[in-house]
Structure 1
Amino acid sequence: MLDAAEPYALILAAFGVVVLLTAWLPLLLKRMPISLPMVCIGIGAVLAWSPFAPVVGMNPLENRYLTEKLTEFVVIVSLMGAGLKLDRPLSLAGWQTSWRLLGISMPLTIAGIVFLGWSILGLGIASALLLGAALAPTDPVLASDIQVGPPQSGEEDEVRFALTSEAGLNDGAAFPFVHLAIAIALSQASGEPFFADWFLVDVIWKIAAGIAIGWLGGKTMGYLTFRLPKRAGLSETRDGFVALGVTCLAYGSTELLHGYGFLAVFVAAVALRSVERKHHYHENLHNFAEQIERLLMMVLLVCFGAAIGEGAVFGALSWQVVITAVLILIAIRPLSGWVGLAGYAAPAAEKGVIAFFGIRGLGSFYYLAFALGQADFERPELLWVTVCFVVLSSIIAHGMLVTPVMNKMDRSLRQPTP
């Protein structure tokens, strides 16, 4: 008979295993065509059939609010880490690939997914738009294998920079489209007009507030960290958890003022770097953010894998969903990325890598969970199964290809030009 303390002991044991694997697995998988997220999902599926099933058996998709908040937190921590490790100063010319992917490729991706949702899945405009907005952004959490290295590591070629900056920016840029889907769904129920309010509030105000608060907050924290007299600056503490404080402060204050917190966090990280670009303390901040991000990612993906193992996720899977997912990953995103980079002076192979590796992940779960809590959308179970299958397919396909493709690209970059 189970002791009353045994569930708690099981939780501690399972969490201990996850923590140890968080530190150990990246070392083992470094040169293998297997990614950490793939292993996490596999662990979850195995645990679903083990004595640990009560510990990990909670299906995150059955608790919308919990899914929303957990994925929200891991995404904002990831956005801070992404911004901190970018060595390149912010500029129109230096960030040209970022602006192209953000302003051209992402809207094209959303439009393509909306068409697939309407034509293949039979969704109405609100649900199809929500599907497009949720699946368009490149995920900052699961894309770590194709991002730039730690601050001042020198691992910042154009491909890695483009994918890192895109992941940091488009999580905030997707929100207006999510809110547009919500506004349409609410308007369909009430008959009230929505466009003017959506454009003024959800586009103009929230984007402006996210950028302004993030930039001001990042600059202020940069001053407190690097510009105060010696022994008074935060950099003297050498504590990496300051990054978590900056993340939560930037996100929370922006959300209180009804701005886009995701955008504010990434902008704050970039602004913080700009105050003192070469200080060694940036590495402490980045390392802490990366460790927290990796641990939270593993926990969530283990739960996702357990839900898959139980059969709770893909009960409504159909051939229409499979075709939609395949077209999103091998046609919609690559073509949209290629169009966005048309005319950009870079080798075709590099543009192809940037266009293809639009990894989908935990951010998509967040957008869907958030929107479903704001309005009634038709066929929410179809939205969930489609997003889950696209994310799983992206984790497997991109996870298998990222190591060999990036290794080949690195070798070509090291070869001297004739």
Structure 2
Amino acid sequence: MTVDVLLVAAGALALVAAAWSERIRRLPVSEPLLALAIGVLLGPAVLGVLPLPDLLEDHAWLHTAARLLLAVSVMSVALRYPFRTARARWRPVLLLLAVVMPAMAVVTAGLAALTLGVGLGVAALIGAALTPTDPVLASTVTTGKPAEEDLPGRDRQVLSLESGANDGLALALVLVALALAGPLSMGGALLETLWDVVGALLLGAFLGWLGGQALKAGADHGATDPGPELVFTIVLAFATLGVGGLIHVDGIFAVFVCGLAFNAVSTGREREADVRIDEAVNRFVVLPLFLAFGAILPWAEWRTLGWSGLLFAVLVLLLRRPPVVYLLRRPLHLARPDAAYLGWFGPIGVSALFYLTLESERLAIDPVVLVAGTLVVAVSTVVHGLTATPGRVAYRALAGPKGRDEGAEEGRDQDHDRSGSSSGSDG
């Protein structure tokens, strides 16, 4: 019955979101926020018709669901823009990954130690898990007609690509945190990180190239039906994730690299179909997860944290990312409004749930890691969901028509280029 209630609620919300998609994107609310609110309503805190296992006692299902959803999401990001566009953004994305991501982990860990009074190991675990910007929540501000009208293409592309890449690469920070917490030596953590990243690069590049070549050959010879072609990259994402798990490499990062490699070798026609189906899945499959998350929110444990927990969540949103991105606006070649926007919209969501539960599986961690971490995820879902549309309006006012039009002109052709020139011949 629990699964049936979840499916009915998620299906009803998906129907509304699909029918009113354009209007919802113009409202100060996001689909994940709506799903979270409905989950709270159906959960034990209100109606009690959606009983799910206690988060602190059984979260293996949440970890698996987050892992599968992230695979679909990072594949969607990798296919969202022509490969030449992704290649052109490597400098700001690399700076965000190499400098901003570690800084966010350190800031978050420091805030955890100061506000929650936890030790170094626990603070490091919290900081690492809450570091990656979430591709699922970020897609609410980077895709759709309103975003394309109001935001420069470059900003949307950089935020999307960063969220896709750092979801997998955050595993390196998690491994270092596990070493600080005790179960791993620092040398072992570094060796595992090296194998995870290098193995994921090789695996993702090979499977993406192979998949792109296979689909292109099948399409050229008329051997691929339109139906299977539409879901090919979803199947490819799951296959890559599975192989990554078998050989113990970073599966999420492997899927992202796989998507980029597939993007580079496939034709414009194939890529257009894959983008449509991946964006649709990325947008609607997330709803059951946020519904379930809303139903298992640990209200009693949050009350135990008291005001220090809420203070921690607020400070994380304010200090984890915005000041770092703003200080790096010149190396990132961002105007002040762009730096403020990119700094604020680094939401914390599914990827944080994935790493919080991963840490809990690998180590008998202090419950405060899951309790404080889920509080930040819930607050981020609410706050970023409510500020997405007002944020676009504020950016439009601050940037002015000249800066916005220049950015839009730069990104417009790249966003909508579906011709063969955006395929492997450019890669």
TM range (shorter): 0.7 to 0.9
Q: How far is 1:328 from its partner?
A: 1.1
Q: Which residue of the other structure, out of 380, 391, 414, is the alignment partner of 1:405? A: 391
Q: Which residue of the other structure, out of 330, 333, 341, is the alignment partner of 2:321? A: 333
* Equivalent residue number for residue 257 of structure 1: 247
* Equivalent residue number for residue 274 of structure 1: 264
CA contact (8 A) 1:207 1:260 kept: yes
Aligned runs of 1:295-306 on 2, under 5 Å?
Answer: 295-306=284-295
Distance in 1 (alpha carbons) for counterparts of 2:271 and 2:87: 24
* Equivalent residue number for residue 214 of structure 1: 204
Distance verdict in 2 for CA 1:90–1:180, change over 3 Å: farther
CA displacement 1:150-202 (0-9 Å, x = unmatched): 9xx99871110111011001011110111122233344xxxxx71222212x2
Distance in 2 (alpha carbons) for counterparts of 1:299 and 1:9: 11
CA contact (8 A) 1:117 1:123 kept: yes
Distance in 1 (alpha carbons) for counterparts of 2:143 and 2:8: 34
Distance in 2 (alpha carbons) for counterparts of 1:60 and 1:283: 39
The SS at the match of 1:343 is coil
Bigger drift between 350-359 and 61-70 goes to: 61-70
CA displacement 1:327-384 (0-9 Å, x = unmatched): 111122111222344433232111211111110001111101111111122x32x222
Distance in 1 (alpha carbons) for counterparts of 2:180 and 2:22: 47
Q: Which residue of the other structure, out of 9, 15, 37, is the alignment partner of 2:32? A: 37
CA contact (8 A) 1:138 1:358 kept: yes
**Residue 355, structure 1, aligned to residue 343, structure 2:** yes
Distance in 1 (alpha carbons) for counterparts of 2:113 and 2:137: 28
Distance verdict in 2 for CA 1:11–1:184, change over 3 Å: closer
Distance verdict in 2 for CA 1:391–1:25, change over 3 Å: farther
Aligned runs of 1:68-217 on 2, under 5 Å?
Answer: 68-89=63-84, 94-148=89-143, 157-187=153-183, 194-200=185-191, 202-217=192-207
Opposite residue 387 of structure 1, the aligned amino acid is G
Opposite residue 314 of structure 1, the aligned amino acid is W
* Equivalent residue number for residue 277 of structure 2: 288
Distance verdict in 2 for CA 1:92–1:340, change over 3 Å: farther
* Same amino acid, percent of matched pairs: 25
The SS at the match of 1:132 is helix
CA contact (8 A) 1:139 1:363 kept: yes
The SS at the match of 1:258 is coil
More helix by share: 2
Q: How far is 1:147 from its partner?
A: 2.2
Distance verdict in 2 for CA 1:7–1:74, change over 3 Å: closer
Q: How far is 1:17 from its partner?
A: 2.1
Please report the TM-score for the alignment, with normalisation by the length of structure 2: 0.84
Opposite residue 337 of structure 1, the aligned amino acid is V
Unaligned 5+ runs, structure 2: 408-427
Unaligned 5+ runs, structure 1: 1-5, 188-192
Q: How far is 1:386 from its partner?
A: 1.4
The SS at the match of 2:268 is coil
Aligned residues: 400
Please report the TM-score for the alignment, with normalisation by the length of structure 1: 0.86
Opposite residue 49 of structure 2, the aligned amino acid is P
**Residue 345, structure 1, aligned to residue 333, structure 2:** yes
Distance in 1 (alpha carbons) for counterparts of 2:46 and 2:380: 29
Distance in 2 (alpha carbons) for counterparts of 1:24 and 1:277: 31
CA contact (8 A) 1:254 1:261 kept: yes
**Residue 225, structure 1, aligned to residue 225, structure 2:** no
